[in-house]
């Protein structure tokens, strides 16, 4: 595995709860890492009613993040992007796709994030990154030239009605949380690797709300009956073992909603076990 380079993606304009912009700094401070790259959204929310809130600010931020990710890859390092709300993944994926054509994506999340400005009930862009990266809807600034069949979602358990209909009509592979429980993460992983067997490069996007809300309350949109850090670590290690991991997002930590740093510590544990080879803690 290449040496990880941590990128702080300090933006919270894609969601409806302030605080996710503080997530990257919280993770870095707990890791006690001296250096990391920072991409910061210095523009304030306009909070204008519309079909994609804060679109101009998020587009500008994602372009800067894309350039940072691409530069990190050019330096032969592994970008580990710390969010920030999930809209930052539009920039992460674009930066990776610029360097790796035919990029595959593994989306580990409670939500499919497959809305568009035309379908979203909330107008929050953190619910649109997958559709945007695929060139759907009108947010053409986020099109990363991905193929639907090269996207696998794991842990999905909360989708909007029209979003779900569009997802079912797509060629995206979806393992809902009940599939993970029924098959086990090892079987889901085997099927995922098989589905992406023709893909040489993979971006993994991990939303902390994949975890059960009782164990990781410090996220923007918590959902019960979620997964575990052990399962996420297995995914990242397997993709790394297959020499396909090219970039990784860890998003949606909101320290203002966290309880005694429990969710932040989950993010830190994931990083340590995946990249820093520190003995894993027992899941509680």
Q: What are phi and psi of 128, to 5 degrees?
A: -125, 0
**What is the DSSP-derived secondary structure letter of residue 120?**
-
The verdict on whether 113 is a catalytic residue reads: yes
The verdict on whether 209 is a catalytic residue reads: yes
The verdict on whether 203 is a catalytic residue reads: no
C-beta separation of 143 from 120 below 8 A: no
The single residue of 21, 26, 55, 111 carrying the catalytic annotation is 111
The single residue of 85, 109, 258, 269 carrying the catalytic annotation is 109
The single residue of 5, 21, 26, 126 carrying the catalytic annotation is 126
The verdict on whether 109 is a catalytic residue reads: yes
Exposure class string for 149-169: b at 16+ Cβ within 10 A, else e = ebbbbbbbbbbbeebeebbee
The single residue of 21, 207, 258, 269 carrying the catalytic annotation is 207
The single residue of 26, 86, 160, 249 carrying the catalytic annotation is 86
The single residue of 21, 249, 252, 258 carrying the catalytic annotation is 252
Contact partners, residue 38, CB within 8 Å, separation at least 6: 7, 8, 10, 24
The verdict on whether 145 is a catalytic residue reads: no
The verdict on whether 32 is a catalytic residue reads: no
The single residue of 21, 26, 163, 209 carrying the catalytic annotation is 209
The single residue of 21, 55, 113, 249 carrying the catalytic annotation is 113
Contact partners, residue 161, CB within 8 Å, separation at least 6: none
Supply the residues annotated as catalytic.
86, 109, 111, 113, 126, 207, 209, 252
């Amino acid at each position: 595995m290449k040496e990880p380079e941590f990128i702080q993606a300090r933006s919270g304009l894609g969601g409806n709860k302030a605080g996710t912009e503080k997530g990257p700094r919280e993770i870095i401070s707990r890791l006690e890492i001296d250096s990391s790259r920072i991409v910061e959204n210095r523009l304030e929310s306009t909070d204008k009613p519309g079909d994609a809130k804060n679109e101009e600010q998020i587009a500008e931020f994602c372009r800067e993040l894309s350039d940072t990710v691409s530069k990190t890859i050019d330096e032969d390092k592994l970008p580990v992007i710390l969010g920030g709300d999930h809209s930052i993944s539009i920039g992460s994926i674009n930066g990776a796709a610029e360097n790796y054509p035919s990029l595959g994506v593994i989306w580990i999340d409670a939500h499919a994030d497959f809305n568009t400005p035309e379908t979203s009930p909330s107008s929050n862009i953190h619910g649109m990154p997958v559709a945007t990266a695929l060139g759907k809807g009108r947010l053409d600034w986020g099109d990363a030239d991905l193929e639907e069949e090269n996207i696998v979602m794991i842990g999905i358990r909360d989708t909007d009605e029209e979003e779900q209909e569009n997802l079912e009509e797509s060629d995206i592979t979806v393992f809902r949380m009940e599939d993970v429980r029924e098959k086990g993460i090892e079987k889901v992983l085997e099927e995922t690797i098989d589905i992406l067997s023709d893909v040489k490069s993979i971006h993994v996007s991990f939303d902390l709300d994949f975890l059960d809300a009782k164990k990781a309350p410090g996220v923007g949109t918590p959902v019960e009956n979620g997964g575990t850090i052990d399962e996420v670590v297995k995914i990242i290690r397997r993709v790394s073992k297959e020499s396909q991991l090219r970039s990784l997002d860890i998003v949606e930590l909101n320290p203002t909603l966290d309880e005694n740093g429990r969710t932040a510590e989950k993010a830190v544990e994931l990083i340590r076990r995946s990249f820093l080879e520190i003995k894993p803690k027992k899941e509680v």
